[in-house]
A and B are shown apart, each in its own frame.
Chain A
Amino acid sequence: DAGVIQSPRHEVTEMGQEVTLRCKPISGHDYLFWYRQTMMRGLELLIYFNNNVPIDDSGMPEDRFSAKMPNASFSTLKIQPSEPRDSAVYFCASSLVGGHREQYFGPGTRLTVT
């Protein structure tokens, strides 16, 4: 299997622009997670889906953040408008059956907002 695929790997954008991050989970996995990692705040869970349905979005920092999962093989995390404090590495992960099974992480998208 190719593992979890994220694109782009690096994104540099100006404040106020819309940013869309993409994720393809491992085929057959029914959970998908979006995380954000910064030096100051560490690893934060933003939102997760089960069978394409959002289960918990309490970690989404503001209304500027939105996530969708239109089908089992694709998810997006959108930031509109972006701000410099959104600069971070964003990870997508997928798993089977929930927390008793390990999560498989993608390589991450490094976002820089200037």
Chain B
Amino acid sequence: GDSVTQMEGPVTLSEEAFLTINCTYTATGYPSLFWYVQYPGEGLQLLLKATKADDKGSNKGFEATYRKETTSFHLEKGSVQVSDSAVYFCGAGGTSYGKLTFGQGTILTVHP
């Protein structure tokens, strides 16, 4: 079945630092790829998505590019804020009837 592997956390950064969270996937088909964010006490919210190779998803200063050749979908942000502190989940879907497969989540903490 599909699998998603994320960079292990926790990740701790200072405000305005550059962020990268690595994500790679294994799928038999051609999945759509997603990044979700979970703030404390809340459910997961879609952050961005990409549905085909070389697509770039972007939202709130975050970006990720669908790289089929390296089966990757790394999340980046040029300058993080304290308000970006959350748990980030990479997900892949569409090859297994209806499901999304999520990575284990990466905790990000941003200090002032």
Contacts and interface: CB of A to CB of B under 8 A. Distances in A.
B45 A31 contact: no
B96 A43 contact: no
Q: Sort chain A's interface into a size bin.
A: 20 to 34
Interface in B77-112: 89, 93-100, 102, 104-105
B104 A98 contact: no
B17 interface: no
Interface stretch (A14-22, A60-68, A72-80, A100-108): A100-108
| Chain A contact residues: helix, strand, loop or mixed | strand
B43 A98 contact: no
A100 B51 contact: yes
B93 A99 contact: yes
Interface string B12-53: 000000000000000000011010100000111110010100
A84 to B, nearest CB: 22
Contacts of B36: 105
Contact of B96 (A50, A99, A102, A104): A99
B44 A99 contact: no
Given A91-B43, A107-B42, A99 B94 contact: yes
7 smallest A-B Cβ distances: which pairs? A99-B93, A105-B43, A100-B94, A98-B98, A99-B94, A105-B44, A102-B46
